[in-house]
């Protein structure tokens, strides 16, 4: 902040000489001795006897001053020369030396950038903002926290990412993407002028997963879930029956469930992509939620209390896939098996809450597709029941087997 300066009441004017400067006696308060020969130049003498050169001037209709140096390191002749040249710059270019000094002292650090990015971009816009915060706390902050943003070089970024890539190349890719976002954010806020990550190659080769569970894998999964009753297994069942993301299932609230004419509808105010989502539950999915309610809700707000990917109820089921697939593959299995049942791609996309492409879909077509969604989900529930009960394709569909149900 630039200090606005009003000349001190004890200001004096003196014909300063090289010899007289050292003989000016200190007083009980600081006194500015203005040089008769140089407009605006003052020698401030403090009660302790320290002598400092200042130049008083006006900028933006405000009286200000800027420190030129201390005596005797800066002598009278040099102080006068510096005062004159500074005043010429002020009057010819509109410069404000005090403001320039204050700006130079204010260094915008990487820690400042990270805090600004998290509070103004990540947290308001990203459901999974904790992932960005983890990377900042684990890797970026310790490396560059106190550094000026503009001082961080491409070479240093390469070195940090190389170190991360030794163990997890894909994690290095994610960290690189975050660094690039941070610098783009800094450029937009005028805290930087270049992105040192621009066109930087990724370290880890990423291949899109294509795993889709077949009938045998789906049957084995359901039987394994029956053997581990509880919140974790119920959440996995809902993921499989509805095709929704794990984080969204774990965060399901009782208040999000609405009883409609056709059954239970799950309303999600916010999702990973930031858009609200509406999923009419099949009878099988509604039965899972109803069973949890009748068993006595553990939480008056959430259906699955304290459940997340690291919760004990989920970790206990880590042995079910035995490395053959990941829980995220359930969503791909859901979509692929719906397509195999003849469900239109538009309906599958709506169920997955994917971004709508094109102005017609994103702006003009506001149809909810509730009926089509429910029909697809009931069809998938029937197919899953057939698989779990071991019926041949095209045979009679029986009810789900729930061994060990509470």
**CA–CA distance, 354 with 94 (Å, rounded to integer):** 54
Query: What does the pLDDT read at residue 384?
Result: 94
Query: What does the pLDDT read at residue 145?
Result: 92
Query: What does the pLDDT read at residue 247?
Result: 86
- Better pLDDT: 1 or 349: 349
Query: What does the pLDDT read at residue 230?
Result: 85
For the chain, what is the largest distance between any 2 Cα atoms, rounded to a whole number of angstroms? 112
pLDDT (tens digit, 9 = 90+) per residue, 40-87? 999 999 999 999 999 999 887 889 999 999 999 999 999 999 999 999
Most confident of 176-190, 312-326, 361-375: 176-190
- Spell out the alpha helix ranges (H) of 71-197: 76-93, 97-105, 110-117, 123-125, 129-135, 141-144, 154-165, 169-188
What value does the mean pLDDT take over residues 78-105?
88
pLDDT (tens digit, 9 = 90+) per residue, 267-326? 988 777 667 889 999 999 999 999 888 877 667 888 887 777 666 767 777 778 877 788
Q: What is the pTM of this model?
A: 0.56
Confidence band of 104 (pLDDT split at 50, 70, 90): low
Domains by residue range for the chain, with CATH = 12-105 (3.30.160.390), 110-188 (1.10.150.130), 215-388 (1.10.443.10)
What value does the mean pLDDT take over residues 92-102?
85
User: Token digits for 386?
Assistant: 């057939």
pLDDT (tens digit, 9 = 90+) per residue, 235-275? 999 999 999 998 899 889 999 999 888 889 999 887 776 67
Judge whether residue 156 has pLDDT over 90.
yes
Query: What does the pLDDT read at residue 361?
Result: 53
Confidence band of 337 (pLDDT split at 50, 70, 90): very high
Query: What does the pLDDT read at residue 298?
Result: 67
Judge whether residue 225 has pLDDT over 50.
yes
Query: What does the pLDDT read at residue 307?
Result: 77
Query: What does the pLDDT read at residue 341?
Result: 94
């Amino acid at each position: 902040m630039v200090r606005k300066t009003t000349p001190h009441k004890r200001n004096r004017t003196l014909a300063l000489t090289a010899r007289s400067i050292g003989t000016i006696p200190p007083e009980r308060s600081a006194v500015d001795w203005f040089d008769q020969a140089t407009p605006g130049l003052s020698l401030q003498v403090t009660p302790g006897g320290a002598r400092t050169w200042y130049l008083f001037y006006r900028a933006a209709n405000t009286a200000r001053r800027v420190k030129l140096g201390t005596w005797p390191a800066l002598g009278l002749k040099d102080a006068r020369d510096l005062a004159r040249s500074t005043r010429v710059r002020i009057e010819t270019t509109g410069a404000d030396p005090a403001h320039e000094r204050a700006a130079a002292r204010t260094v915008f650090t990487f820690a400042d950038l990270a805090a600004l990015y998290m509070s103004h971009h990540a947290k308001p816009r990203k459901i999974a903002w904790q992932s960005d915060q983890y990377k900042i706390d684990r890797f970026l902050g310790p490396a560059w926290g106190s550094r000026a943003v503009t001082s961080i070089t491409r070479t240093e970024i390469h070195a940090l990412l190389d170190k991360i890539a030794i163990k997890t190349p894909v994690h290095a890719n994610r960290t690189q993407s975050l660094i690039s976002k941070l610098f783009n954010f800094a450029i937009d806020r005028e805290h930087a002028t270049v992105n040192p990550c621009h066109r930087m190659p990724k370290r880890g080769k990423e291949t899109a997963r294509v795993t889709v569970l077949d009938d045998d894998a789906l049957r084995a999964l359901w039987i394994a879930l029956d053997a581990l009753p509880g919140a974790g297994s119920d959440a996995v069942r809902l993921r499989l029956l509805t095709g929704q993301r794990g984080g969204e299932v774990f965060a399901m609230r009782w208040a999000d469930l609405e009883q409609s004419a056709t059954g239970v509808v799950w309303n999600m105010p916010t999702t990973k992509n930031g858009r609200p989502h509406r999923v009419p539950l099949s009878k099988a999915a509604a039965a899972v939620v109803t069973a949890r309610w009748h068993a006595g809700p553990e939480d008056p707000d959430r259906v699955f209390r304290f459940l997340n990917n690291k919760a004990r109820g989920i970790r206990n089921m880590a042995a079910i896939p035995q490395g053959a697939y990941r829980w995220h593959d359930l969503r791909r299995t859901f979509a692929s098996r719906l397509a195999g049942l003849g469900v239109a791609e538009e309906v599958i996309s709506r169920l997955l809450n994917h971004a709508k492409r094109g102005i017609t879909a994103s702006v003009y077509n506001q149809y909810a597709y509730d009926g089509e969604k429910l029909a697809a989900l009931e069809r998938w529930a029937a197919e899953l029941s057939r698989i779990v009960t071991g019926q041949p394709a095209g045979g009679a569909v029986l009810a789900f087997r729930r061994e060990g149900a509470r």
